Amino acid sequence: MEDKIYYTKNLNKTIIVLIIPIIIEMFLETMIGYVDVSMLGRLDKFYLASTEVSNSLIYTCLVLANAFSLGGTVLVTKYIGAEDNKNRNKTIGQTISIGIIFSLVFLIIFYFFSTNFLKLMGAKDSCEAMVLTNAKAYMSIMTFSIPILMFRQMFVGLLRGMGKTKIPMYLSGLNIILNIIFNTIFIYDHISVMGLNINLFGLAIRGAAIATLTSRSISLVLLILYFIKIAKFKLKISDFIFTKPILSGIFSVGIPTALEMMIFRAGMLKFLSMVTTLGPTAISAHAVANAAESLSFTPGNAFNVVIVTLVGQFLGAKNYMMAKECIKKTDRLAIIFMGTMGLFFLLIPFVFIRLFTNDADVIRLSSSVLRIEALAQVFFARYYVYSGLMRTIGKSKQIFFVTSSSVWLVRITIAHFLLNYTELGLAAAWIAMSLDYVYRAAFLTILANRNMKKIFQSSQKTSNKFNIFKRKKAFVSNH
């Protein structure tokens, strides 16, 4: 697919061609985590606690990478639409520069203070599990993957902005294959193949870290080679030097998005602490239902990426009618897709729940709360589409305020009231969570429509002035 996808004649086909590779890529990225858990869990279940604590720290760094990557993506789409290759290259160069700075800062912080952070996350020495000891061993290697992860995220964001969604999908597929191979080589001390006993490195949790670092390094090298050899981007040294227009454009999306993600995570921790008061069965049911619900997050995030890519390019090309049509069609497809997922959650929730547990009590409780959330799937679809739209048109601050108020004033407040003054139990928390989705979707729809109306009216006025000017010019020449 060409960079200039705003020339498309079949919008539905373009959306589907863009979205399928994104869904597959995100699914494969999720599977990489499951592979590590599965292969380490075969050795010792306590290794899993160490990797969970460590990875929660590492992925916190990715909040910033995701936020500023999104800022770069939004700018790139607009410059591609405007056929402004000079500023497109400056955006790519300065996004890379931001990645260099942040990755070095986090690398230094975690290299010298990882033990302190691990203790804050609850990792403590134990004669049985040695969670902290294992986590320190894992982090001593995984710290060096932070720059790789951040750079990869930023490069992937730029590729999505150019409509190159298949490239990250192929790399994620390769990454999972490499991860399995390197995990086998470095984690286990031996394997048996066709009766032959093959000795391996047997590094256990350190081996998992080495495998992850190696596979991600290869993936990043291939991404860089794609930009240089295939896409043939020739960036100048000046492209990497910060300029106010580009930097302010990236930060106008990145900073509010990073704050939004951090406040959202804080709200989720508070919400989880409220659920934990309900007892072990409810906690397990909540975790399992969340895992099942997360199956709908992947297509939701994919629609979010598509709206940023397409609408950004249409607006950059000043093709406002196609931008309007793209919003309508993407919204409709997202509602159909996630509404179908909601219907499955409502009618056959146990099918999804049994993917994660065999406990009868957990299946019963998690199925009941998943049915509650099923009714909110269509609202969640709209949230994904319109949050992407708002970021594309430079309204990230409004998303920040909507998300913050939604999590803390709607989800937390309603959950607190229902948990304390009703006998609904876990259902109370999931009712509050569903109302959170409804609130976010409703407010973002209102704000997005209001902002887009202003953009369309402004473009119409400009167009009318231009037409009047042409008519006057024609009148003078005829007389």
User: In the prediction, which pLDDT does 296 show?
Assistant: 83
186 with 201: CB under 8 angstroms? Answer: yes
pLDDT of residue 477: 38
Give every CB contact of residue 149 below 8 A, 6+ residues apart in sequence: 58, 61, 62, 65, 216
Mean pLDDT for the stretch of residues 409-415: 94
Containing 190, the helix (H) or strand (E) segment is: strand 190-193
Share of the chain above pLDDT 70, in %: 90
What predicted TM-score, i.e. pTM, was given to this entire model? 0.80
Locate all alpha helices (DSSP H) within 354-395, ordered by sequence: 360-374, 377-392
Angle among Cα 135, 141, 143 to the nearest 5 degrees reads 85
CA pair distance 378, 141, nearest whole angstrom: 42
First-to-final CA distance of the chain: 49
Question: Using CB atoms within 10 A of its CB, is residue 112 exposed (0-12), middle (13-18) or buried (19+)?
Answer: exposed
Q: What is the predicted pLDDT for the residue at 128?
A: 46
> Is the model more confident about 283 or about 195?
283
Kindly give the residue spans of alpha helices, DSSP state H, lying in 121-165. Answer: 131-142, 146-161
More reliable by pLDDT, 11 or 422: 422
pLDDT value at residue 469: 42
213-236 residue pLDDT tens = 999 899 999 998 888 888 777 889
User: What digits encode the pLDDT tens for the residues 1-54?
Assistant: 345 555 556 788 888 888 899 889 888 887 776 677 778 767 766 677 677 677
Confidence of residue 122 (pLDDT cuts 50, 70, 90): low
Mean of the per-residue pLDDT values of the chain: 84
Checking if the pLDDT of 134 tops 80, the result is yes
Written as six digits, the tokens of 176 are 């999972």
State what percent of residues in the chain have pLDDT above 90: 34
From residue 15, give the alpha-carbon distance in Å to each of 269, 325, 391.
35, 12, 18
Which neighbouring-strand residues pair with 193?
196
pLDDT tens for each residue of 167-210: 999 999 999 999 999 999 999 887 877 777 787 888 988 998 99
On the question of pLDDT at 102 being above 90, the answer is no
Give the mean pLDDT of 101-115.
86
Q: Among the residues of 320-425, which ranges form H helices?
A: 320-347, 349-353, 360-374, 377-392, 396-405, 413-421
pLDDT of 129 over the 60 cut: no
At residue 127, the pLDDT reads 42
Q: Does 468 score more than 50 pLDDT?
A: no
Q: How confident is the model at residue 461 (pLDDT cuts 50, 70, 90)?
A: low
Q: What is the pLDDT of residue 462?
A: 59
Chain-centre distance for alpha carbon 418: 31
The C-alpha atoms of residue 201 and residue 187 are separated, in whole angstroms, by: 7
Overall average pLDDT of the 58-74 stretch = 81
312-370 pLDDT, tens digit each: 988 888 888 888 899 999 999 999 999 999 999 999 998 888 877 788 888 899 999 99
Mean pLDDT score, 378-383: 92
b or e along 143-168 (b: 16 or more beta carbons within 10 Å of the residue's beta carbon)? bebbbbbbbbbbbbbbbbbbbbbbbb
pLDDT digits (tens, 9 = 90+) for 234-270: 889 999 999 999 999 999 988 898 888 888 888 887 8
The pLDDT score that the predictor gives to residue 9 is 67
Q: Distance between CA 59 and CA 71 in Å, rounded? A: 19
